[in-house]
A and B are shown apart, each in its own frame.
Chain A
Amino acid sequence: MAEEFRTCPVTGFKVHLPAEKLIKVNGVTAVVAILIGGIMALLVAMTRWETIHLLSPLDYYKFLTLHGWNMLGYWIIFFEVAILYFTAAVMLNCRLASPKVGWLAYILMLSGALITNITVLMNPAKNAIMFTSYVPLKADPLYYLGVILFAVGALTAVLLFFATLHIARKEKTYKGSLPLVVFGALTAAILAFGTLFFGAVALVPTFTWSMDLTPTWDALVYRIIFWAFAHSSQQINVSAMIAVWYLLAFLTVGGTTINEKFSRLAFLLYILFINIASAHHILVDPGVTPAWKIWNTSYAMYAAVLASMMHAFAVPGAIEVALRKKGYTRGLFEWLWKAPWKNPAFSALILSIITFGFLGGITGVLAGTEQLNIRFHNTLAITGHFHGTVAAGTTLAFMGLTYYVLPLIFRREVVGQKYAVYQPWLFGIGVSLVAIGMMASGLYGVPRRHADLTGFGGAGFAFDYDPTAFLWLSIMGLGALLAAVGGALYVLIAVGTLLKGKKL
């Protein structure tokens, strides 16, 4: 048993080698997914940038579908599975409950991802139905099978995480209560468990309907259940991202939260309230009552937002206190100016906090408020909101963590450190421009998803947009180019480190 572990010379963690292999393989797959999704992102953005309008409608919907699944699905969730294994096995000095189950989860997720990607590529006219996969759009059964396999694989990984926590507790591999970062990962896993259940409820009947085994499948019921899955899955990302914020605050400057109970309470608020806030997708749907809408998107949502604000205070507070303890005590902000900005993980962390809060967080509350929602609903402003949360906030946090995973788990010295300093800035500023351009043009009425903004595919009707909308779409396009450079640099550094990095 002993030879299954190694001791990390930097952190002192006892690393379970089979868990380490699974962390590596899930991490590498996530990077491949961001590469594929990133290329698709550039093509999609260059089409929505009206001046360029690159792709035909069929190609546009094909690449938009692939962009959605590869970024929102595969990049994020493969990385999160790696985080779950890291927090449960490595941070608790514990063995992974069953590496074989871990490999089964990986194979299910990978095969699901491949099946869905291939079905979209092979027959886009039928299968490019986008991430939402709204009924009554009916794709080939294989498309839904791929999604279900991926979700079952992710659920298996979540169960493995719970089992590992149980073993760690039983074998007393850690003292006291769960470390805060693991507690954050546990929050993400609890949310994932419920979310994936709703995914099954939404997509299994859709799968049988696509095979004509179920005669009808109600579009409105699908929408309600689908959003209990699809928006809740973004809440998993939020919890995982905030767990990574706490981890990076510790790794970069030695920061620990000022008050553990305060941070744990914020995670608890997520478990209780954040998934209910998914109801804002249904605000213009006729099937639910105004009381239901107002409760879910007012009181419940504010409790979830309160939790985010608590974390947004606790993490920078932890950084400030740690830096003040190092002697940076002059004035209000000496600690900030003298922070380790040349460490890409630190700049990625700070950019993640700023973009998530200012771009994703504020707009999320606005778009989720029942009355205000009518100006946002189905416009590009919504796409701008979640590019602020997931594309900027979560992705930047995960990119930052990569700069520690490479030396600590892959045991390779990061190559191109001179360029790595600029990578989070290029990506962060680029994605911020994308999000701002989308939000501003959306508020001028530019719809989300649409391939042909001005021509409407020759449908015989048109809408005259305020010319300012096109300026904002150009800003979005320029931001996408910048983000693509930052994203490409991230992939080059990660892959270059694996192939050429000095062994540590």
Chain B
Amino acid sequence: MSQEEEIQPKGTMVLVLIFFAVFVLFYILNWIWLSGVWELS
């Protein structure tokens, strides 16, 4: 493994993807919760 490969911030990439997944999840959840505010029948 070269020195260049060794210093890639791979762990940070995973952490950032976890953050992004939580972001997307909460974004979707809030749209779902919003849809319950004025329910249509």
Give me the interface of A with B, judged by CB distance under 8 Å. 258, 309, 312-313, 316-317, 319-321, 324-325, 329, 332-333, 335-336, 357-358, 361-363, 365-366, 371-372, 374-375, 443
Please measure, in the bound complex, the distance between the C-alpha atom of A375 and the C-alpha atom of B23, giving whole angstroms.
Answer: 18
- Are A358 and B11 closer than 8 Å at their CB atoms? no
- Are B37 and A375 closer than 8 Å at their CB atoms? yes
- Are B23 and A324 closer than 8 Å at their CB atoms? no
Please measure, in the bound complex, the distance between the C-alpha atom of A443 and the C-alpha atom of B6, giving whole angstroms.
Answer: 45
Which secondary structure dominates chain A's binding surface?
helix
**7 shortest A-B CB distances, which residue pairs?**
A317-B9, A320-B9, A332-B11, A317-B12, A316-B12, A320-B12, A333-B11
- Are A374 and B34 closer than 8 Å at their CB atoms? yes
- Are B11 and A371 closer than 8 Å at their CB atoms? no
Q: A320-B11, A329-B6, A332-B11 are in contact. Are A362 and B33 (CB under 8 A)?
A: no
Please measure, in the bound complex, the distance between the C-alpha atom of A26 and the C-alpha atom of B36, giving whole angstroms.
Answer: 49
How many A-B contacts if CB must be within 8 Å? 56
- Are A312 and B16 closer than 8 Å at their CB atoms? yes
Q: List 12 A-B contacts (CB under 8 A).
A: A313-B16, A316-B16, A317-B9, A319-B12, A321-B7, A324-B6, A329-B6, A332-B14, A372-B31, A374-B34, A375-B37, A443-B33
- Are A362 and B23 closer than 8 Å at their CB atoms? yes
User: Is B40 part of the contact surface with A, judged by Cβ < 8 Å?
Assistant: no
- Are A372 and B6 closer than 8 Å at their CB atoms? no
A123 to chain B, nearest CB (A): 41
| Given A258-B9, A312-B16, A372-B34, 16 extra CB contacts under 8 A | A316-B9, A316-B12, A317-B12, A321-B9, A332-B11, A332-B14, A358-B19, A362-B22, A362-B26, A365-B27, A366-B26, A372-B30, A374-B34, A375-B30, A375-B34, A443-B33
Please measure, in the bound complex, the distance between the C-alpha atom of A324 and the C-alpha atom of B16, giving whole angstroms.
Answer: 18
Closest Cβ neighbor of B19 among chain A residues = A357
Chain B, range 1-41, C-beta contacts under 8 Å to A: 6-7, 9-12, 14-16, 19, 22-23, 26-27, 30-31, 33-34, 37
User: Counting chain B CB atoms within 10 Å of each CB, which of A320, A358, A365 scores highest?
Assistant: A320
- List the A side residues contacting B15 at CB < 8 Å: 316
- List the A side residues contacting B27 at CB < 8 Å: 362, 365-366
- List the A side residues contacting B23 at CB < 8 Å: 361-362, 365
Please measure, in the bound complex, the distance between the C-alpha atom of A457 and the C-alpha atom of B26, giving whole angstroms.
Answer: 35
- Are B11 and A375 closer than 8 Å at their CB atoms? no
- List the A side residues contacting B16 at CB < 8 Å: 309, 312-313, 316
- Are A312 and B7 closer than 8 Å at their CB atoms? no
- List the A side residues contacting B22 at CB < 8 Å: 358, 362
- List the B side residues contacting A443 at CB < 8 Å: 33
Closest Cβ neighbor of B27 among chain A residues = A366
- Are B9 and A371 closer than 8 Å at their CB atoms? no
Please measure, in the bound complex, the distance between the C-alpha atom of A62 and the C-alpha atom of B21, giving whole angstroms.
Answer: 41
